[in-house]
Structure 1
Amino acid sequence: MTMKNLKYIALILVLLIAPEMNAQMRTVVSLTGVVLDAISKQPIGVNVEIYDSGNKRVQKVTSNAKTGVYFATSLKPGETYEVRIAEFNYMRQSVVVSFPKTDKYAEFSRDLTLIPKKSGTKIELPFKAFGLHKSTLKFGSNVLLQDFINLFKGNLTVNFKIISFPDEIGDPNQNMQLTQARAESLRHFFIDNGIQANRISTMGNNTTDPNNPPPTGNASKGKRYTGTCYLVIEEF
């Protein structure tokens, strides 16, 4: 194949690929969602800032105080962004959002929940970290706990207490041993993942959770109640 033919083939490839590349360069995507108070579940108005992979702020919008809805556009497909919220009455939070490549306009949704920065705020773990009568973290809990690791790394002045409740009404001493061991398992997990030990305290219980007690009837097949765990903001 001659050099002339190679140049001709290269030109054809450029002509075929260039329109698609130009379309992607011109295309924008948008990010929308609702910002809620994690405890009251009420919408809140806050500044939502979006940073690109080079840590440059590319968007700053405000969520609607009545509906909690925010909307940011002119973002690029195929890129990864960090969404940051720093509001005085709430803990600093950030999430990473990656957009797929596309040559057509698209809207993507990501709701955000903010935790009040107030002593006594109680955050229930939204998953069962332990098996029945067990004090070792269940497989996969490390992934589910990562959001809390990021939360406390982003709020270095916040101290918190881990509170654990037992699975059932039973021997008070055994319940206390189990729940204290569970709280310590969580504490060690946080420490192993970069949270300072002096920021974390623990508390076990010998009675079941009064706000989320075991069911009184027969449990659904395959579902077993296990005691609740909470993270409680102590000071900041």
Structure 2
Amino acid sequence: MAETTVAEVMAELAGLEDPKAREVNERHGDDHGVNLGKLRAIAKRLKTQQELARRLWATDDTAAKLLALLICRPKAFERDELDTMMRQARTPKVQDWLVSYVVKKSPHAEELRLTWTADPDPVAAGAGWVLTAERVVKKPEGLDLAGLLDVIEAEMKDAPERLQWAMNTCLAQIGIAHPEHRARAIAIGERLEVLKDYPTSPGCTSPYAPTWISEIVRRQGDKPKA
């Protein structure tokens, strides 16, 4: 089978460009017009191709970067390479996919979590808090949950948007996964009122932490502490 070239992939992505999709995506800060379902179909066809992924990433085209994240081998990246990629990501969707599909599966995830959480760049710091929220749920051993709540209580209210969302997610996950911290997590959310008025579609759970915590706990058959 002939090797797929970057030029071939870029031509295919260009052919999928949809002005209406671009308009919607640009409202969220994402500068591409490719339907993500169609992008995933290309990835499924290409399968894992690490070198092609690296070359697609190097184009700095958002759709190409998203595709690169779907066909790469997460454990093949070095720590510094992933750090550089985070700073090159540029758009929210690329940042989200990089963390969710690549960094979380990397042996360097914990080191990057610690590095990014303390980073002055709010995008990198937000990525660190996303990784922290993941650990809160899946591997909380060794985390200072009370200390995390201290930081959230002190800093979330005035944090830049993406960092604020990530800290809020961490707050909610602490409240959901750790009953001993639930009352405090809910109290912090109620006092800060972050995302309290965020518009939520019918059937969806509000991102407002007290509502989010209470709803998920209810579904799990547990009762939130008073």
TM-score normalised by length of structure 2:
0.29
Higher relative contact order (CA 8 A, sep 6+): 1
**Structure with bigger gyration radius:** 1
Which structure dedicates a bigger proportion of its chain to strand?
Answer: 1
